[in-house]
Structure 1
């Protein structure tokens, strides 16, 4: 007990920062998310990502174990092998949960406690780093409170708030802070090369076991560590060995997790979503949500106050002192400057954009692009720069101002950070304190679902096509996961959707009695392609090889399905109450469907079709697109009808409408009917 009390006293200020982070988490998200048996709040989220993360863990939990791939998942895209890495389910916790599975309740989630841990570590590590940068000692009470106040800016760092319970694994900003802590305390904590290899090897394990995007961020900090050892002339081993340990540990873990043995894995997306570095300080310059790297109003205020403090010191004749300080710490200046520049270059991608203007595009070798594009949303890497800039600014304020003045300034920065994020924080408070968030909700209300699960006749759920955008998809996937069934379709990060779409369609050629087949939305058009007994539960069409003790769904004389126009991509047009209206030079392309062999009739209703060009196309993503040979059977300004026949599945089939002149064209509806 005395040793615990001594440790608590020694680390009381980092623990105070951690407590601040934990309190902020509890205030924002409440305590119900900490109930491991409460999973409805995850599944009720309107975004599919939390469901993917949770169900990825559940499928993995119930999957067979086949060495050496301890992280392989054979249940999510049955009968193929995927990896827990690609469901963003925090692999380290998933593996631990699988080991402890016999002791856990049937429905179990660890994401709530993970969130609490992230906030606590964010606050604790931020305080410890600020104390180091600010030259604060534990006995300087006012300055210590100032470090806690400054830690609040990082606790409310936008990337942490926005990613929590959205891309939950990506909320581990504390990994970057931990790496910076190791860098800043390397002389004391890592006096030998062996200890450095152990520490950075552990960092590699943590990053690979949480989320792959932290590998390059922490890796850039490690480059700073290696640079410092080089400038200290510690020898080649001190420079290279920790880097090799980091890469080797991460690579070995990814091999064991099955990351390189997963079916349908497409590691490179072939493009880079880079950051506009001006967006670090100016909100709204991001081209997309993924490219938003704004450090928050409080972070900007801290940087402005730090710059003003330096300027004021120069005016007061303290420029010489500042210059002397930089000379004494020139190695650190070079190291942290290199980290900032290297991270900026990695985050920008090969297209340099500043202030909303594209300055240039750098042509790089294809082999480098293939590696870089594994982290296609590279704007995220700028989180390192954002947090480091805030830490440096707060550290400067601590060094240039007295304890109470610094505490007041840093507290003001935290309040500004909260004010700037008030809408996002308010939304999260409202959402996670509402009873409806935790209420059980599923589209599967018919007792037949539970009766089928209890019958023991089925072990697998199979979707007719690869499409997880359907409203019912995640309820069906949750049903399969909860009852120990497999699913043949699931969303995975870095997934080759083309290969999955073709493979799933091919799997329908061999029907199995222990599989319940699901035909959602447009897949109902394919019911006559398969010799199944059909039933409808909760409006969802299912098929079984063997008859079931329910009334069979009669085959309709003609089956027609309306396309959801809101899923269309539109140029020079808009969605109105009447449908999609295209102006001069306008075009629309419907959402993608998969059509099985047969004869189809497509009917477009609206106005101005005599001033349009209409066609249908299909083709796999990023591959050649083919126009269909169609026959128009009805041509009128208010209605266009065409037919076509296909003897093979059509992947990503779409209908396109283009305007031919200045006359507006309105598409109010598109219906697809399978006639044979």
Structure 2
């Protein structure tokens, strides 16, 4: 008991920071997300990403284990091998839970507890670092409370709030804080090269086992650690061995997770989505949601207060003392500057954008692009700079303003940090405290689904084409995972969607009675291409080689499907109640469909078509596209109909409408009919 009491007494302030983080989490998300058996709140999320993370784990849980790839998943895109790494399912937790899977409930999620863990560590580590940076000593109660309030700035760090239960694994900002703590405490905690290698090797395992984007962020902190050791003239082994062990441990883990042995893996997206570094302190300069790196209103105020504190200190004649302080900590300042400069370079990508203006695009060798583009959303790497700037700013406020004044100043900073995030915080509170969020909202309510599951006939679910953009897809994937079936289609990060699309279409050449075939939207046009018995459950067309104990779906008199123009790409136009309205220079591209071999008739209704150019095209993503040879059979200002025949599958087929002059065009509907 004395040991436990001593522990709590010794670490009471970091634990207070952790408690703050935990309380904020519970206030925002409630306690129902912590129930491991409650999964509906994940599947009901407006974004498909949480469903991907959870179902990726469920498919992995039931997947066979084949050495040496412990992280391989053979159930998500059956029968091919993928990796738990590419579903962002927090691989380390997935592996641990798979080991004890027989002891877990039939439906089990660890994402709620992970969220609580992230918030608690964010608060605890932030307080410990701020106490160190702020020079807080034992017994300085006001300064300790100020460090807890400063930790609140990191608890409300925008990237943590925005990513939690969206890209849940990316909410592990605490990995950067832990790396920063190891760097700050390196002289005491890691006095020998051996200890340093063990600590940084462990960090490599954590990063690779949680989310790949933390490898470069934590790796940059390690560079700062190495630079400082070089300035201390610790020797080449002390400088380079921790870096080598970090990289080696991460690489070994990635091999075991199957990162380099996955089918359909496409590691380079071929582009860099970089950050506008001014966006760190000025909101709304980001070109997209993915490029938002704003550190928060409270963080910016902390920077201002730190600058004012320095100015006041200079005016009070403390310049010599500050210069002496800088000289004593020269190695820290140089290493920190190196980290921030390197982070700025990698986060911007090869397009330099500042203040919303693109200044230059730097040509880089293709080999470097292929490596860099593995982290194509490189703007995320600027989170490191945001975290470091807040820590340094809040620590400076502690040192320059003193404990009592710092309490008030950092309390205001934390309040403003919350105020700046008020819309996001309110949205999360409203969503996760609403009973509807935790209700079963699956569309698969027809008793026929359970009849199929209980029959014992099926082991696999197969989608006719690779398209997970349909609303029904995730309910169907959840049904398959919950009943121990495999799926032949699933969304994976860094995935070669072209290869998957071609492969899935080829699989339809060999049909099996233990597989339930699913035809979503455009796939229904291919029902006459396969010798299956067809059934309709909740409006979804399914088929099997053998007749089932369900009423068969009658053959439709007309094999036609209307395209959902809500998902059309529109330039110089808008979607209205009347349809897609195009102005001068306008164009519309319909959603991408896959069409199986056959003869098709496409009918467009609307107005102004006598002032338009209409064509159809197809082609794999990021590859050459081809215009189809089409024949118009109806040409009218309000109706245009064309036909075409294909003897091979058409991948990512689309119809385009372009305006030819200033006459507005309205596209009310686009209907595709298979005529032969």
Give 1:138 shift. Answer: 2.6
SS at match of 2:471: coil
- Name the counterpart of 1:593: 593
Note if 1:4 corresponds to 2:4: yes
- Name the counterpart of 2:226: 226
- Name the counterpart of 2:493: 493
| 1:116-135 alignment runs, 5 A limit | 116-135=116-135
- 1:166-194 Cα deviation digits (max 9, x unpaired): 00000000000000000111000100000
- Name the counterpart of 1:670: 670
- Name the counterpart of 2:387: 387
Note if 1:280 corresponds to 2:288: no
Give 1:557 shift. Answer: 2.4
Give 1:42 shift. Answer: 0.4
**Separation in 2 of the partners of 1:639 and 1:318?**
81
SS at match of 1:472: helix
- 1:541-600 Cα deviation digits (max 9, x unpaired): 000000011111121122111111111111111111111111111111111000000010
- Name the counterpart of 1:85: 85
- Name the counterpart of 2:468: 468
**Separation in 2 of the partners of 1:191 and 1:364?**
40
- Name the counterpart of 1:296: 296
**Separation in 2 of the partners of 1:607 and 1:491?**
38
Note if 1:548 corresponds to 2:548: yes
Q: What is the CA RMSD across the aligned residues, in angstroms? A: 0.6
Deviates more, 1:304-313 or 1:531-540: 304-313
SS at match of 2:509: coil
- Name the counterpart of 2:566: 566
- Name the counterpart of 1:213: 213
- 1:297-337 Cα deviation digits (max 9, x unpaired): 10111111111111121222222222221111111110111
| 1:342-357 alignment runs, 5 A limit | 342-357=342-357
- Name the counterpart of 1:637: 637
**Separation in 1 of the partners of 2:633 and 2:298?**
63
Note if 1:171 corresponds to 2:171: yes
**Separation in 2 of the partners of 1:67 and 1:138?**
52
- 1:23-61 Cα deviation digits (max 9, x unpaired): 000000000000000000001111100000000000000
- 1:385-430 Cα deviation digits (max 9, x unpaired): 0010000001111111111101110111000001111111011011
Give 1:11 shift. Answer: 0.8
**Separation in 2 of the partners of 1:582 and 1:441?**
37
Note if 1:44 corresponds to 2:55: no
Note if 1:539 corresponds to 2:545: no
| 1:502-517 alignment runs, 5 A limit | 502-517=502-517
**Separation in 2 of the partners of 1:329 and 1:546?**
76
5+ residue gaps in structure 2?
none
**Separation in 2 of the partners of 1:38 and 1:138?**
44
**Separation in 2 of the partners of 1:105 and 1:552?**
35
- 1:240-297 Cα deviation digits (max 9, x unpaired): 1000100000000010011110000000101000000000011100000000000011
SS at match of 1:673: strand
Give me the TM-score of the superposition, normalised by structure 2. 1.00
**Separation in 2 of the partners of 1:138 and 1:660?**
76
| 1:47-446 alignment runs, 5 A limit | 47-446=47-446
**Separation in 1 of the partners of 2:65 and 2:278?**
48
**Separation in 1 of the partners of 2:574 and 2:429?**
34
- 1:183-228 Cα deviation digits (max 9, x unpaired): 1110001000000000000000000000000000000000001101
**Separation in 2 of the partners of 1:253 and 1:434?**
40
Deviates more, 1:497-506 or 1:559-568: 559-568
**Separation in 2 of the partners of 1:437 and 1:582?**
38
SS at match of 1:651: strand
Give 1:441 shift. Answer: 1.3
5+ residue gaps in structure 1?
none
- 1:342-375 Cα deviation digits (max 9, x unpaired): 1111100000000000011111111111100000
- Name the counterpart of 1:647: 647
**Separation in 2 of the partners of 1:297 and 1:475?**
39
**Separation in 1 of the partners of 2:668 and 2:99?**
54
Give 1:468 shift. Answer: 0.3
SS at match of 1:491: coil
SS at match of 2:430: helix
SS at match of 2:470: coil
SS at match of 2:605: strand
Runs of 4+ in 1 over 2 A off after TM superposition: none
Deviates more, 1:356-365 or 1:54-63: 356-365
**Separation in 2 of the partners of 1:463 and 1:624?**
26
**Separation in 2 of the partners of 1:574 and 1:108?**
43
SS at match of 2:480: helix
- 1:430-470 Cα deviation digits (max 9, x unpaired): 11011000001101011111111111101000000000011
**Separation in 1 of the partners of 2:133 and 2:655?**
59
**Separation in 1 of the partners of 2:108 and 2:463?**
25
Give 1:2 shift. Answer: 1.4
**Separation in 2 of the partners of 1:51 and 1:402?**
48
- Name the counterpart of 1:15: 15
Deviates more, 1:405-414 or 1:306-315: 306-315
SS at match of 2:461: strand
**Separation in 2 of the partners of 1:455 and 1:565?**
39
- What is the aligned length? 676
